[in-house]
A = this chain, B = another copy of it.
Amino acid sequence: MDQPLNLNFASDNTGPVAAPIMQAMVEANTGAAMPYGADPWMDDVRDRLRALFHWPEAEVLLVATGTGANALALAGMVQPWQTIFAHRISHIEEDECGAPEFYTGGAKLTLVEGQDGKMTPDTLAAAMAPVGKKGVHGVQRGALSLTNVTEAGTLYSLAELDALTTLAHEAGLPCHLDGARFANACAALECSAADMVRGFNMVSFGGTKNGCMAVEAVVLRDPARGWELELRRKRAAQLWSKHRYLSVQMRAYLEDDLWLRNAAAANRAGQRLASGLRNIGADLVWTPQANMIFARLDRAAHARAQAEAQYYILDDAERPLCRLVCDFTKTDAEVDRLLEMVAG
């Protein structure tokens, strides 16, 4: 019998867990395993991420939420009296209820401007310029945090990432990548993970939005602060006792390129949706480059679509803006049904 169509486009976190990942959790569910990361699967996860990133010394810490991964990584990079340079619409600024401030002990975020959800070397330089000029009176420069795929559904190219991380490194700043949609970015850019991370010091490598149940890896290029991060993870109550169920999720996610295959599927659905929307006259406010589309539609179109589909409407303009996200499960039929409803 046919599955009903899943017309939930609210987020890539509304879908189910990918079958191989759930299967891995079921298979691991036997006998005893030592807790807190001492399970045997974690060693394999660490090895795989080291190889994937070409970071042979890297430390890897698994946590269950993307906000946790970002906040933990940033707390390992900046002091309370420093500031993190981040785009105005970054997740760490807008969607984490101040978790970075909490985990860092009160560091600031300095917001960097830029179209399409992306900062540029010029806007970053402009944001950095005044910071530190006031000596002891002002907060100090701490770190750069970039997001790829951006919160606008756009992409930084490798060259763009390089330009920004180089600028930061020249100013002595470490760089953090919020990779909640790391896989979608790799798939869309057709680049390796190692290329993606080459300018960074710490990476939040996301799994939850792309087929896992709840797992994100904080990856530290330089293991020197590994023990500190482990203490911070515990103190932040992010250390799982039954850790094997984090490890096996991440292991299955990395196995046979599932992470990339899921992301490619999500991106494909997203691009099909974007094309379709363009064809029927929607305004796409940013150019969708992965699996997330921001579109303006007539109120009537929204009314028709929301009769069956779920997604967020973000303003109450004449043509209200909506966000549509495709996860790795989205089928052509589901995308086409949404388009059909929008078209009316």
Contact = CB atoms under 8 A, between A and B. Distances in A.
Interface string A46-89: 00000000000000000111111001100000011100000000
Contacts of A236: 99, 102, 236-237
A327 to B, nearest CB: 9
Contacts of A109: 108
A45 interface: no
A15 interface: yes
Nearest to A95: B137
Given A214-B64, A241-B11, A139 B29 contact: no
Interface in A213-232: 213-214, 228, 230-232
Given A65-B240, A81-B235, A214-B240, A95 B134 contact: yes
A26 interface: yes
A181 to B, nearest CB: 13
Contacts of A63: 237
B14 A33 contact: yes
Interface stretch (A2-10, A171-179, A190-198, A264-272): A2-10
A67 B237 contact: yes
Given A64-B240, A94-B137, A95-B134, 17 more contacts: A3-B30, A11-B35, A16-B30, A22-B26, A22-B29, A25-B25, A25-B213, A65-B240, A80-B102, A81-B98, A94-B134, A97-B231, A98-B235, A102-B105, A136-B230, A140-B231, A214-B242
25 contacts: A8-B34, A13-B35, A13-B242, A14-B32, A14-B34, A14-B35, A15-B32, A16-B32, A17-B242, A22-B25, A22-B26, A63-B237, A79-B231, A81-B235, A95-B134, A96-B235, A99-B234, A101-B106, A102-B106, A103-B237, A136-B234, A137-B234, A214-B241, A236-B237, A237-B238
